Amino acid sequence: MRETLGATSATTLLAGHRAAAEALPYQHVDDLFIGGHYRRAAVSDGVDEVVDPATGETWASVPKASAQDVDGAVAAARAAFPAWAATPPHERAERMRRWADALEQRTQPLSVTSTLENGSPVSETAGAAANAAGIIRYFAGLSTVLEQDDIRIAPLDPTQATTVRRDPVGVCALIAPWNFPINLVVIKLAPALIAGCTVVIKPASPTPLSIRFVLDAAVEAGIPDGVINLVTGDGQVGDQLVRHPDVDKVAFTGSTPVGRRIAAACGELLRPVTLELGGKSAALVLPDADLDHLRKVLIRSCMRNTGQTCYISTRLIVTPEHYDEVVEAVATTIGEAIQGDPLDPATVFGPSATRAQRDIVRGYIRSGIAEGARPVTGGDVAPVIDEGFFVTPTVFADVAPEMRIAREEIFGPVLSIIPARNIDDAVAIANATPFGLGGIVFGADEDRAFEVARRIDTGSIGVNFFASNHAAPFSGRHDSGLGVEYGIEGLHAYLSYQSVHRRVR
């Protein structure tokens, strides 16, 4: 059972967060990163306040970029593009490795800034710099692929040889979400840079500051001026970037509705786009599943980052052999997990990232109750902390597939346990969704679980766990997106190909 924080603890939380914010290098800033330097916004277009989700207090602010600022950032990226594209891939890779080293030196302030921006527990954000550095090093390692000759002989005419050239696509607009504001930028930024592209980054409005540590590390590593640029602001700034005439490619992570609008704009402009969007992934619990193992990986796989993770399996589909035991194991695991101060390393569940997101999640919980789902822990109850944007983690049992909580992405600490008649029924329920991003199959017989996993219509799926692999493609099917991130396939998304035909003498 969770214990309610007393008044003294709540006061301590508030004081601790204020002190943590005051110790950070970035708080109230009035500049953007354009052409390799921080410079004041060209036109005062207001500010975006940064609110601490654990306390509800404003602790920082950034400027809203104007159209003139967007023009300046894109122009800087365009000016830097020829020299960066002409830099040999192995030299780009060496600077990127130095960049990864410099980023790891910023682990602590980056972690605290991220936590104060979006409420993610420090147990989550503490690994952000290391994970981002790993992504950078992985893509730097693909420089050898770019330097290999690719010559192909025509199958019907052996006297014709074609050299396939891989050219960087150009200036890229990278638009990131608030739930993982570092890694979901870097999985776009690293392949773009090793390909020879230059970029303009637009972070989500609630999380505009932590990315500055990535930029500072890039400057220290010698990434040339103008290769990486940053503008901050709301969706209007993002739309200006998407539609800018000097942007050659767009990469976006966020909600499916926004992704559709970006896809429509890019389709009209015939502009390549990568979209990593929403999910409603399923975890199938087979009759032979090890429930002790399920408990160990449950939160990471199904409620990571207070449920604010696109690929997590928020639908647990369970066959009747041990349905009651699964419900008890899941409810106990979630009910015992600590919810509290996200700056406390022991905290598992922090607040929702924004006030609006908290209200959305609460609305889904009420919807589940109204439609007849049975809350076995949590529910429409007061959270342990009155301040901030906390929602009590909730597990629903006896969820029908047609309920809203089983169909729609909630993006909060809510799990739905859905009974299935048998494995075939469980597969059918898992596939009865417009999304296709992640998933898991739990089963002691891993070969059998693997075969069941192959029947799920999704871009990625795990057997007895879920974790992304930098070297393997990550992509969504259907309403979960377009294109690929990670792996060599993620690099290809930032390349343009030219075939040069010649005769073999």
Active site residues: 276, 310
Q: Which helix (H) or strand (E) holds 415?
A: strand 414-419
Q: How far is CA 262 from the centre of its chain?
A: 17
Q: 10 Å Cβ neighbour count for 397?
A: 23
**Residue 409: how many CB atoms within 10 A of its CB?**
20
Q: Are strands 282-285 and 315-318 parallel, antiparallel or unpaired?
A: parallel
- By CB atoms closer than 10 A (0-12, 13-18, 19+), residue 447 is exposed
CB neighbour burial string for 466-498, b if at least 16 within 10 angstroms, e if fewer:
bebebeebbbbeebbbbbbbbbeebbbbbbeee
- What's the maximum distance between 2 C-alpha atoms anywhere in the chain? 85
| Alpha carbon distance 129, 79 (integer Å) | 29
Q: How far apart are CA 391 and CA 365, in angstroms?
A: 10
10 Å CB burial of residue 360 (0-12, 13-18, 19+) is middle
C-alpha span between 82 and 158 (Å, rounded): 35
Q: Which of 152, 66, 192 is nearest to 504 (CA)?
A: 152
Cβ within 8 Å of residue 3, ≥6 positions away: 384
User: Tokens for 328?
Assistant: 């008890």
Which DSSP symbol is given to 286? -
Neighbour count for residue 446 (Cβ, 10 Å)? 12
Q: In what order do the strands lie in the sheet with 198-202?
A: 37-40, 31-34, 228-230, 198-202, 171-175, 249-253, 273-276, 481-482
DSSP state at residue 480: G
The set of residues, in sequence order, having a beta carbon less than 8 Å from that of 497 and lying 6+ positions away, is: 164, 165, 166, 167
In the chain, what is the straight-line distance between the N-terminal and C-terminal CA atoms, in Å?
79
